[in-house]
Amino acid sequence: IRSFGGDPDNITLFGESAGGASVSFQTLTPHNKGMIRRAISQSGVATCPWAINKNPRRYAEEIALKVNCPTDESMAACLKMTDPVTLTLAGSLSIVSSPDNPIVFNLDLSPVVDGDFLPDEPHKLFHNAAEIDYIAGVNDMDGHLFTGLDVPSINSHLVDTPVDDVKRLLASYVKDGGPLALDNAFSTYTSTWGSNPNKETIKKTVVDIGTDYIFLVPTQAA
């Protein structure tokens, strides 16, 4: 950094989307303690639901089977010796999704809690970032990329988005809270609809739901 005219004692990191989450991870790992002065995350933090793969073993086994590696204790060694191009092609992402199976829950190629760089869940590592000046923010409609795949009708002015799709998407997001959480969430998001909401209002509500769940609320927590 000094060789390029920078100050190694005054480092600022910035990233957007996956880069924003990466910045967040860099502030949380104990390996970087004392190295970063400031950080900015836009539209992505470590607490986003897509930022961590909570079941990496399943994904690793799927890849291993595709490249003819065993899934026993020798799996890691075999994968390390496999051609990188072959591994990359084997890890192609499926973008099949629906309101009942949102794509945000199926982004397998994400960082993992490895016990080293990330010794614990991100929300338990905030103490490592206590001395870092941190700005985190989101944009209106950040969730459109995700919800447009889950509920494709929101991308067409000529196609109505069924209210049931709104409920189904919400149900997927708040499933841990049960029926009461779904009822409360649906009431909140439809409180300004009136008795006969137009199609654009319904479509924008779907995007708002995705933006809140996937970006805004995790950013507020970070």
Tokens of 65: 């089977």
Question: Can you list the alpha helix ranges (DSSP code H) found in the chain?
Answer: 18-28, 56-66, 75-81, 84-90, 144-150, 163-173, 178-189, 199-211, 217-221
What average pLDDT does this structure show over 6-30?
A: 97
* Each residue's pLDDT tens digit, 92-103: 766 678 999 999
* Each residue's pLDDT tens digit, 24-83: 999 999 999 999 999 999 999 999 999 999 888 888 998 999 999 999 999 999 999 999
Reference 206, options 156, 172, 158, 167; nearest CA is 167
Which of these ranges, 33-42, 85-94, 194-203, 204-213, has the smallest mean pLDDT?
85-94
pLDDT at 187 over 80: yes
Q: What is the C-alpha to C-alpha distance for residues 13 and 38, in angstroms, rounded to an integer? A: 6
Q: What was the pLDDT predicted at 154?
A: 97
Parallel, antiparallel, or unpaired: how do β-strands 133-137 and 12-16 relate? unpaired
Domain ranges within the chain, ordered by starting residue: 2-51+111-137, 56-105, 144-221
> Side chain identity at 87, as an amino acid letter?
L
* C-beta separation of 93 from 144 below 8 A: no
Q: What was the pLDDT predicted at 222?
A: 85
What average pLDDT does this structure show over 203-222?
A: 97
* C-beta separation of 97 from 103 below 8 A: yes
* Each residue's pLDDT tens digit, 126-184: 999 999 999 999 999 999 999 999 999 999 999 999 999 999 999 999 999 999 999 99
Q: What is the C-alpha to C-alpha distance for residues 69 and 113, in angstroms, rounded to an integer? A: 23
Residue 107 banded pLDDT, cuts 50, 70, 90: confident
Q: What was the pLDDT predicted at 109?
A: 76
Q: What was the pLDDT predicted at 94?
A: 63
Reference 97, options 156, 165, 51, 147; nearest CA is 147
Residue 108 banded pLDDT, cuts 50, 70, 90: confident
